[in-house]
Amino acid sequence: MDLLDTLTAKGLRGETPTREEALAVLATTDDELLDVVAAAGRVRRRWFGRRVKLNYLVNLKSGLCPEDCSYCSQRLGSKAEILKYTWLKPDQAAEAAKAGVSGGAKRVCLVASGRGPTDRDIDRVTDTVAAIKDADPAVEICACLGLLSDNQAERLKAAGVDAYNHNLNTSEGTYGDITTTHTYADRVDTVQKAHGAGLSACSGLIAGMGESDEDLVDVVFALRELGSDSVPVNFLIPFEGTPLAKEWNLSPQRCLRILAMVRFVNPDTEVRIAGGREVHLRSMQPLGLHLANSIFLGDYLTSEGQAGQTDLDMIADAGFEVEGMGESTLPRHRADIAAAATGGCGSGSAGGGCGTGAVSGEGEGESADAAVGGGCGTGGGCGPCGGHGHAVPAATVGAADDKDADRAADEVRTDLVRVRRRGAGTELAPNA
């Protein structure tokens, strides 16, 4: 297929495709799907080899968010029966983080629901970061606390935070349909504040909210332009008790096409499969590893993931390996750029930390062909919450042939969406 040959050649050179080419990826058929995965897989291996970075979520403060993001189980007015608790103490958070690091995670994502942190909240996070890094100085810390005020990003950087997550979630044109209590511009401003303070920018999207193909391409190109070092791709978890509980617009094939498109647009950027992979990719999760180089280990913020050991077995069975603490996540040229922007050492991970790995970013034979609101209730991606709004009409979804889109409008899949009842905020052992 000429399209895939063109996209592969561009990706191996680290070039960005056109919007038309990105849209064409989403329009491919199921008969072409394995060819799409193979093409995007070559690009993934060129820059990241067969390494998979593991990330672990710690929900520092769950529920009771004043923002009204339609997708979020922690939103204002949510009837989802999730865990609700105020700030974990630093030792509690450090204990939760330890479980993830012991399971192979090199990055711990500290998330708190709410519009944005107070100065006292920044103090709490500072103490928590110190407790985690006292136990393991090499671990990366990503904070996700919502909209940032002036100087807060600088304080987080000084406290030892390596990255900041704030997802754009959807296109600027449809953002008002999912959130009314803050704007798309507010989110862009926070990502820019984080980047400007020397934090590695982590920003991604949520697919499956009723958006069109054009919306997906718009937000992915916007993330590229923002300079995100890592792009988490969340697949909507339709929580019962939220406005989007009946939005089942995704199939495993649709999810793989979305991941491939994100990889082609961000050939040398960390692409992470975040919340919803177990719900929507299901038995096809291993194919997602050929497109993304990063996943969350175990459970998410308010929903359960598959068993942590199952994640590790899946990675090994698919022929991949867990990325080590000392290895650089980003390819050398991206790591050097990120380090220059953040004041790092150049060999560090994801632009923030100073890893000692000497990974060149050239994977398995591909180099010869070559001339990146409070806790997100989707269950992953560390994306701050936000809005009430209304879903974009399902008729606009560019996946009319997907089997899951034919579900009855009133069906709620409680068999696939499981609320987290263990780990942070409970007395039960975490899943890692």
**Residue 134 is part of a domain; what is its CATH number?**
3.20.20.70
Tally of domains in the chain: 1
- Which residue reads 């989707």 in tokens? 378
Least confident of 39-48, 84-93, 206-215: 84-93
pLDDT at 152 over 90: yes
pLDDT at 121 over 80: yes
Residue 425 placed within a domain: no
Supply the mean pLDDT for the chain: 83
Higher-confidence position of 106 and 335: 106
pLDDT at 386 over 60: no
% of residues, the chain, pLDDT over 90: 63
Largest CA distance in the chain: 56
CB burial class (10 A; 0-12, 13-18, 19+) of residue 143? Answer: buried
pLDDT attached to residue 1: 66
- Over range 143-161, report the average pLDDT: 97
Categorize the per-residue pLDDT at 86 as very low, low, confident or very high, splitting at 50, 70 and 90.
Answer: confident
List, by residue number, the catalytic residues.
65, 69, 72, 109, 142, 202, 272
The pLDDT tens digits of the residues spanning 28-39 come to 999 999 999 999
The pLDDT tens digits of the residues spanning 202-224 come to 999 999 999 999 999 999 999 99
Structure tokens at 254: 């649709």
Whole-structure pTM value:
0.84
Residue 427 placed within a domain: no
Structure tokens at 89: 């103490």
- Over range 274-280, report the average pLDDT: 93
Residue 424 placed within a domain: no
Q: Say which residues have a Cβ less than 8 Å from residue 261's Cβ, sequence separation at least 6.
A: 22, 25, 26, 216, 217, 220
Structure tokens at 54: 């593991």
Categorize the per-residue pLDDT at 62 as very low, low, confident or very high, splitting at 50, 70 and 90.
Answer: confident
Residue 402 placed within a domain: yes
The rounded radius of gyration (Å) of the Cα atoms in the chain is 19
Residue 333 placed within a domain: yes
pLDDT at 21 over 90: yes
Categorize the per-residue pLDDT at 283 as very low, low, confident or very high, splitting at 50, 70 and 90.
Answer: very high
pLDDT attached to residue 158: 98
C-alpha distance from residue 40 to each of 132, 219, 309 (Å): 36, 19, 27
Categorize the per-residue pLDDT at 343 as very low, low, confident or very high, splitting at 50, 70 and 90.
Answer: low
pLDDT attached to residue 37: 98
CB burial class (10 A; 0-12, 13-18, 19+) of residue 302? Answer: buried
Q: Which long-range contacts (CB under 8 A, 24 or more apart) does 352-357 make?
A: 352/140, 352/142, 352/161, 352/162, 352/163, 352/199, 352/200, 352/229, 353/138, 353/140, 353/162, 355/138, 355/325, 355/326, 355/327, 355/328, 355/329, 356/326, 357/324, 357/326, 357/327, 357/328
Residue 76 placed within a domain: yes
Residue 271 placed within a domain: yes
pLDDT attached to residue 262: 98
Residue 412 placed within a domain: no
- Over range 162-167, report the average pLDDT: 97
- Over range 193-207, report the average pLDDT: 96
Categorize the per-residue pLDDT at 113 as very low, low, confident or very high, splitting at 50, 70 and 90.
Answer: confident
Domain extent, residue 130, equals 2-406
pLDDT attached to residue 351: 41
pLDDT at 303 over 90: no
pLDDT attached to residue 389: 32
CA dihedral 406, 237, 272, 97 (to 10 degrees): -160
The pLDDT tens digits of the residues spanning 409-418 come to 445 566 777 7
pLDDT attached to residue 76: 64
- Over range 332-352, report the average pLDDT: 59
- Over range 385-412, report the average pLDDT: 40
Categorize the per-residue pLDDT at 403 as very low, low, confident or very high, splitting at 50, 70 and 90.
Answer: very low
